[in-house]
Amino acid sequence: MSPLEIVAVIISVIGVGLTIKRNMWCWWFNFLAFVLYAYLFFTFKLYGETILQFFFMVVNFYGFYHWLKGKQVDHDIRIEPISPKLVIIQMLITAVGGVIFGLSLKHFTDAAVPMLDSQLAAFSLLATYWTSRKHIATWILWVFVDIVYVGMFIYKDLYLTAGLYAAFVLMAAFGWWQWEQVKRKQQTKLVI
């Protein structure tokens, strides 16, 4: 457990907490967390996670812009629906992309756990994209992804980060519940 990991954990918790609350500051805290974790994961040979942090940085700007310019209800970020068909298609594309990325890591790097690392990275990107689009499905996906992350980080002796991701499981479950409450409230206001 390094000072860098401690700071990254604290910044990450703040960022996810602000995301749950649909607060625009989430994007700035999340960006800082991505920078810190990019360096940390690189030092632990989790290259998929390292590259993922750079993708997160790019998607972070997209999410910030989309939330800033997005539809609002009573000055609050409006939650958007996603069709089950689109969920399935995007998840299949993500899984295939994860396999391709994993094979690249396996054959061209000394990655510690290339296939697991790549699949988690791919599905994390999808969840982040869904967050930027304000889909409640993001929280469901994050619950499952974060559970698997806990195991991987324990395996790599990143215990504090494993604890962070265990907290993320709970935060994602709460985010799911909270966004459902907001969605119902917003739908009621749209009907009236």
R_g of the chain computed on alpha carbons: 17
pLDDT digit string, tens, across residues 91-101: 999 999 999 99
pLDDT band at 76 (very low <50, low <70, confident <90, very high): low
Distance CA 192, CA 189 (A): 5
The confidence score (pLDDT) of residue 72 equals 56
Q: What was the pLDDT predicted at 169?
A: 96
Q: Which residues sit opposite 177 in a β-bridge?
A: none
For 17-56, write each residue's pLDDT tens digit: 998 888 889 989 999 999 999 999 999 888 888 988 998 8
Q: How confident is the model at residue 183 (pLDDT cuts 50, 70, 90)?
A: confident
| Integer angstrom CA distances of residue 128 from 19, 109, 133, 189 | 11, 25, 9, 27
pLDDT beyond 80 at 189: no
